[in-house]
Structure formats: structure tokens, C-alpha cells
């Protein structure tokens, strides 16, 4: 059971969720990408993946190798701050790049929502630990709902599946002893609120 919880935590890692969200938008709302052919969509998806996953992940692995952080799974509180700052720099830069680029607003909102979620979770974590996994899951749930609402044919099953997935993520984090229920719920609320705020701003 612990292995399953760890697997869910890896698959639903917060650094991966912007890429999942971008892929979801491309699949469910191809009308938003009317000027894009398959190669353009592939480049856009890789751009999201490189900026929000590969670059931050490579930096974290390097910091772990150099001994700057104790663990990638259960880092000490002082090391979590460094992780948030490093990832925050990459995410803020990514949001600026996408804002200056001619990409659909929903893609911009996904990246900006991830920035807001990351920094607000970091702020709250200075006082009480908040689950960034739950924050990412909450933000992804909002993206799923918006994607389905914007799609030519609304599919209510997808948000329901995503909600179940978000619940599994929170359960997995509690099973691993990383967070308690309050920290998970706080993460969900932060992620959902941040993603809604990002959509309003774009």
C-alpha cells in the first residue's frame, strides 16, 4: 500500500501538473489552437514541460547531489524553503515568457496559476505545512472544469474523474505521513483559489 501511495505521489508530482494541464487543454479544446499544426502543438507542450518540469527537476536533482537538500521526498523545513525558491524562480520566469508569447490564454492561465499556487503555498508553509501536492491537484481540477466548459461538447465525467484523482493524491500524502487532513484541505483550497485568480487575470 505504501508503494502505491508513493507511486501516486510521483505521478501527481506538482512539477508535472502544468504539463498535464496543457495536454488536457490541447486534447479537449483543439479549437483554441486553430493556428497550430501538430508540430506547433508538440513544441508548445515541450516548452511547458521544459520550463515547469525538466529545468526545475534537474536543479533539484543537482542540489540533492551537492547536499544542499536532504531529500526530494521528505526534505527538512529549511530545505523546503530552498526548493520553493528555486522552483519559484523557474515558474515566475515561465509565466513571464508565456505572457509575452502568442499562446492561448488558458495555457498562460495554467502557468500563472501554478506560480500563484507555488508562492502562496510557500507563504502559508512558513506558518503551517501545506500540501503542495494537494495544491497542484486543486489547481488541476479547476483547469479540468474550465477545459470541459470551454469544449464544444461538455463532458462532466472528466471533472468527476479528476476530483477522484485529487482525492487519491491527498489520501496518498496522508498515508505516507507527509501531511494531515487539515494540510491537505488547505492545499486543495489554495490551488483552486490560485487557479481561479489566474484565469481572472489573463
Question: What average pLDDT does the structure give for the chain?
Answer: 88
Give me the pLDDT at residue 111, please: 94
Query: So what's the pLDDT on residue 152?
Result: 67
Which of these ranges, 53-57, 63-67, 178-182, has the smallest mean pLDDT? 63-67
* Whole-angstrom distance, CA of residue 161 vs CA of residue 181: 21
Q: Which strand (E) or helix (H) includes residue 30? A: none
Asked if 140 contacts 126 with a C-beta cutoff of 8 angstroms, the reply is: no
CB 23 within 8 A of CB 60: no
Cell of 194: 490560485
pLDDT score at 125: 86
Eight-state DSSP code of residue 20: H
Summarize the confidence of residues 144-156 as an average pLDDT: 80
Per-residue pLDDT at 110 exceeds 60: yes
Task: Please say whether the beta carbons of 57 and 20 come within 8 A.
Answer: no
CA proximity to 45, closest of 13, 27, 22, 17: 22
Give per-residue pLDDT as tens, 76-90. 666 778 888 889 999
C-alpha gyration radius of the chain? 16
Which pLDDT score is estimated for 72?
A: 64
CB count in 10 Å sphere of residue 94: 22
Question: Does residue 197 surpass a pLDDT of 80?
Answer: yes
Average of per-residue pLDDT across 35-40: 82
Residue 52 DSSP code: I
Confidence check: pLDDT of 74 > 60: no
Q: What is the DSSP string of 66-133?
A: TTSSS-SSS--HHHHHHHHHHHHHHHHHHHHHHHHS---HHHHHHHHHHHHHHHHHHHHHTTS---HH
Amino acid at each position: 500500500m505504501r508503494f502505491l501511495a508513493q507511486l501516486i505521489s510521483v505521478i501527481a508530482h506538482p512539477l508535472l501538473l502544468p504539463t498535464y494541464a496543457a495536454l488536457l487543454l490541447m486534447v479537449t479544446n483543439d479549437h483554441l489552437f486553430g493556428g497550430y499544426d501538430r508540430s506547433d502543438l508538440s513544441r508548445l507542450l515541450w516548452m511547458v514541460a521544459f520550463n515547469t518540469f525538466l529545468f526545475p527537476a534537474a536543479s533539484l536533482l543537482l542540489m540533492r547531489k551537492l547536499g544542499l537538500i536532504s531529500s526530494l521526498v521528505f526534505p527538512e523545513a529549511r530545505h523546503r524553503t530552498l526548493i520553493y525558491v528555486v522552483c519559484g524562480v523557474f515558474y515566475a520566469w515561465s509565466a513571464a515568457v508565456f505572457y509575452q508569447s502568442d499562446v492561448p490564454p488558458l495555457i498562460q492561465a495554467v502557468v500563472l496559476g501554478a506560480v500563484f499556487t507555488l508562492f502562496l503555498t510557500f507563504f502559508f508553509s512558513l506558518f503551517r505545512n501545506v500540501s503542495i501536492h494537494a495544491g497542484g491537484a486543486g489547481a488541476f481540477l479547476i483547469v479540468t472544469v474550465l477545459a470541459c466548459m470551454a469544449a464544444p461538447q461538455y463532458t462532466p465525467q472528466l471533472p468527476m474523474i479528476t476530483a477522484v484523482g485529487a482525492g487519491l493524491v491527498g489520501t496518498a500524502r496522508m498515508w505516507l505521513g507527509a501531511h494531515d487532513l487539515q494540510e491537505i484541505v488547505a492545499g486543495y483550497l489554495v490551488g483552486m483559489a490560485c487557479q481561479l485568480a489566474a484565469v481572472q487575470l489573463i
